[in-house]
Structure 1
């Protein structure tokens, strides 16, 4: 079962990347926001940075090869993808350790709930990204919209 939980995380992360890949490499599009909140690029950066926040608390050794995406940093699809892949792999390591020890330091109640927390949090931001794209008249394609639900093939 642990392997299935890790695989669930991997699928979820690939869906984040699938959405990111669907965005035109256009800095103005990454700078689009549907409200006064984070723009599209900042939403993806926030996902990465929250992962790092948890590593600082739960497994600081996983931070060795990861860097926070700073607020004033120029964001590109390529740089966001690179960071999300790297922090996604680190989440796998944290989950594997957590499932072995039956705990994620600093998180209650247990590692499976932590996985649920991450998926919920990041999916919330995917929704915000999709809304920002829609409101900027650059909605995700039907293929992408349906593709994000194809967990068996992602």
Structure 2
């Protein structure tokens, strides 16, 4: 599926670099698409679990991936959990704060005014690392 999507984008936009994001795939997905570790919950357990999943994917050759920073579903994450998730996530090739909380809100950095400085510092470091990550991908 990722190969077909890649070829379709290449055909329609021949002078642009293709960039496919795919929810799942078979062996070889790393050649054509970026993926993520699935819809995770907004919990410390999920943050802890995502670390070996992401490392395992990388060791298996699927290095261009990450997780939903802050958790995708569940209660709005407590401020420290969100900060720690951002601090971890800045080192993942896919950095996406992406959620659908149980109360129909989405998690955003400005939800935590007293913690925004820590989130900002982490994201600034991420921007410094982006050229290196881009070259590696």
TM-score normalised by the chain length of structure 2: 0.31
- In terms of fraction of residues, the more helix-rich structure is 1
- In terms of fraction of residues, the more strand-rich structure is 2
TM-score normalised by the chain length of structure 1: 0.28
Greater relative contact order (CA < 8 Å, ≥ 6 in sequence):
1
